[in-house]
C-alpha cells in the first residue's frame, strides 16, 4: 500500500461489501498501513485483523461500537494508555496487542495493566484470561487515562514593527495539490481497486488527456469518478454487478 492509508475503495474491494456500514470482518494483515481512520465509518465492524502494520494509535477503533475481536500485534503503538480508547467497547472480548513498543515499555505489569483497564477481555495476546488474573489486575494493575494530545501551537505575537513571523508550512503545497486534483485521485483509486481485484493498472493517459485541466469543482470530480466506475464495470462478474445494482437503487431511493 503506497500511501500507507487504508481507504474506503480498498476496503470494499477486499470485503466485497456493498458499503462500509455493512463491513463486519476486515483483514488487512501486513499491508504497511499507517492510517486506519476509515474504520470510523464502519460501525458494524466486529472482527478486525491489522497485525504487522505501522499503526500508531487505537483511537480510530473507538468509533466501532460492535467490535468484538481486534488483532493489532506488531504495529507501532508506543503508549499503553492507547488502550483507553477501547474502554467503551462493551463487546470487545479478544485483543492481541503483543509485540508493540508499549508492551516492552510497560514491562512486567503489561498484562495486568491491560486487564485492569479492559476487564471484559476473555483472551489477551492469544492467552485465555483466568479469574485469578482479573483479581490480580484489580489490585496491582495501573489505572490508565487517555493519552494527552499535543496542543496546536498558538500564533506567534507580532514583532515590534507589527509584523507577524511567517509560519512554516512544510508539505502544505503537496497536500493541497493532492486534495484538489480529482483526475489524479480517481486514477489512483481506480488502480488501487484494480490491484485488489488482480487486474492490471490503467495508464494515466487512459483516464485523462493533456487537454484536460485540473479542476476542483464537484462536477469535474464526479465526471472523473464516473469514468473510473464505467471502466471498472467492464471487469466485474455477475455477482459484483448485482451488488452495484443494489447500491445504485438504494442510493437513488435516498435522494
- Same structural domain, 120 and 195: no
**What is the pLDDT confidence band of residue 249, given thresholds at 50, 70 and 90?**
confident
Range of the domain at 30: 8-140
The domain total for the chain is 2
- Same structural domain, 188 and 131: no
Backbone angles phi, psi at 196, to 5 degrees: -65, -30
At residue 206, the 3 state secondary structure works out as helix
- Same structural domain, 131 and 188: no
Instruction: Using the predicted structure, report yes or no on whether residue 121 has a pLDDT greater than 50.
Output: yes
- Same structural domain, 46 and 115: yes
For 141-182, what is each residue's pLDDT tens digit?
999 998 776 655 555 555 555 555 544 433 333 433 333 344
The stretch 212-222 carries a mean pLDDT of: 52
Domain membership of residue 150 (yes or no) is no
Q: Which of 140, 157, 185 is the last residue of a domain?
A: 140
More confident: 198 or 42: 42
Q: Of 27-36, 140-149, 203-212, 224-233, give the lowest mean pLDDT range.
A: 203-212
- Same structural domain, 100 and 181: no
- Partners of 123 in the beta sheet? 94, 128
pTM over 0.75: no
Q: What is the DSSP string of 90-154?
A: TT--EEE-TTSHHHHHHGGGHHHHHHHH-TT-SEETTEEPPHHHHHHHHHHSPPP-PPPPPPPPP
Instruction: Using the predicted structure, report yes or no on whether residue 73 has a pLDDT greater than 50.
Output: yes
CATH of the domain at 51: 3.80.10.10
- The grid coordinates listed for 206 are 487512459
- Strand ranges, E, within the chain: 25-27, 47-49, 69-71, 94-96, 123-124, 127-128
Crossing angle of helices 131-140/110-117, nearest 10°?
A: 90
Domain membership of residue 167 (yes or no) is no
- Same structural domain, 135 and 180: no
The pLDDT of residue 217 is 55
Are the beta carbons of 8 and 27 closer than 8 angstroms? no
Specify the DSSP class assigned to residue 217. S
Are the beta carbons of 5 and 189 closer than 8 angstroms? no
At residue 26, the 3 state secondary structure works out as strand
What average pLDDT does the structure give for the chain?
79
> What is the number of other CB atoms lying within 10 angstroms of the CB of residue 80?
22
Amino acid at each position: 500500500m503506497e500511501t500507507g492509508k487504508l481507504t474506503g475503495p480498498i476496503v470494499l474491494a477486499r470485503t466485497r461489501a456493498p458499503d462500509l456500514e455493512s463491513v463486519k470482518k476486515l483483514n488487512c494483515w501486513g499491508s504497511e498501513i499507517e492510517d486506519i481512520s476509515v474504520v470510523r465509518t464502519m460501525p458494524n465492524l466486529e472482527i478486525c485483523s491489522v497485525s504487522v502494520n505501522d499503526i500508531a494509535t487505537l483511537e480510530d477503533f473507538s468509533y466501532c461500537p460492535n467490535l468484538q475481536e481486534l488483532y493489532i500485534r506488531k504495529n507501532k503503538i508506543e503508549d499503553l494508555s492507547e488502550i483507553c480508547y477501547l474502554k467503551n467497547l462493551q463487546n470487545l472480548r479478544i485483543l492481541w496487542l503483543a509485540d508493540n513498543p508499549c508492551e516492552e515499555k510497560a514491562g512486567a505489569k503489561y498484562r495486568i495493566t491491560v486487564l485492569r483497564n479492559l476487564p471484559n477481555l476473555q483472551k489477551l495476546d492469544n492467552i485465555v484470561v483466568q479469574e485469578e488474573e482479573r483479581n490480580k489486575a484489580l489490585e496491582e494493575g495501573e489505572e490508565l487515562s487517555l493519552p494527552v494530545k499535543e496542543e496546536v501551537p498558538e500564533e506567534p505575537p507580532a514583532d515590534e514593527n507589527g509584523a507577524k513571523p511567517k509560519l512554516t508550512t512544510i508539505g502544505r503545497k503537496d497536500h493541497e495539490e493532492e486534495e484538489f486534483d480529482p483526475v489524479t485521485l480517481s486514477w489512483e483509486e481506480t488502480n488501487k481497486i484494480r490491484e485488489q481485484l488482480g487486474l492490471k493498472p490503467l495508464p494515466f493517459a487512459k483516464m485523462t488527456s493533456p487537454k484536460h485541466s485540473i479542476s476542483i469543482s464537484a462536477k469535474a470530480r464526479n465526471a472523473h469518478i464516473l469514468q473510473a466506475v464505467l471502466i471498472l464495470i467492464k471487469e466485474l462478474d455477475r455477482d459484483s454487478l448485482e451488488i452495484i445494482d443494489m447500491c445504485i437503487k438504494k442510493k437513488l431511493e435516498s435522494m
